[in-house]
Amino acid sequence: MTTWHDIGSVQEIPVQGARLVKSSQFGDVAIFRTVSNRVYALADKCPHRQGPLSVGIVHGEKVTCPLHNWTLDLASGSATGADQGCARVFPLKVEGERLMLGLPTDHA
């Protein structure tokens, strides 16, 4: 089951940037906004060595980790190219101007 949380407006996220949402259960969640105004939510931990994806470089529908330059697909969280790994993806939806982050409520 998913509980939806109002985390602010889309405009609060810089284009080609990110902001952090803190979750006591799931840790830091990075909310990304692309140049085409799409938004994505990923755990703020690179699957390589837990680098902070929220300060990575957003390009197209991807983010490049600031530590060792892995590039992750924002929709799937998966590393691209030869790298293997996946950041956790959280559901995110836009209702009017508001961003709603979905966090599981039935996890163990």
Question: Which residues contact ligand FES (rule: CB under 6 A)?
Answer: 46, 48-49, 51, 65, 67-70
Cα separation, 34 vs 52, in Å, equals 17
101 CB-near residues (< 8 Å, 6+ apart): 4, 5, 7, 21, 29, 31, 41, 90, 91, 92
- Distance of closest approach, residue 20 Cβ to ligand FES, in angstroms: 16
User: In what helix (H) or strand (E) does residue 91 lie, and over which residues does it extend?
Assistant: none
Q: Residue 99 in 3-state DSSP?
A: strand
- CB nearer to ligand FES: give 15 or 57: 57
Nearest approach in angstroms of CB 63 to ligand FES is 10
Nearer to ligand FES, 29 or 46 (CB): 46
| Smallest distance from ligand FES to CB 72, Å | 9
Looking at beta carbons only, is 39 or 55 nearer to ligand FES? 55
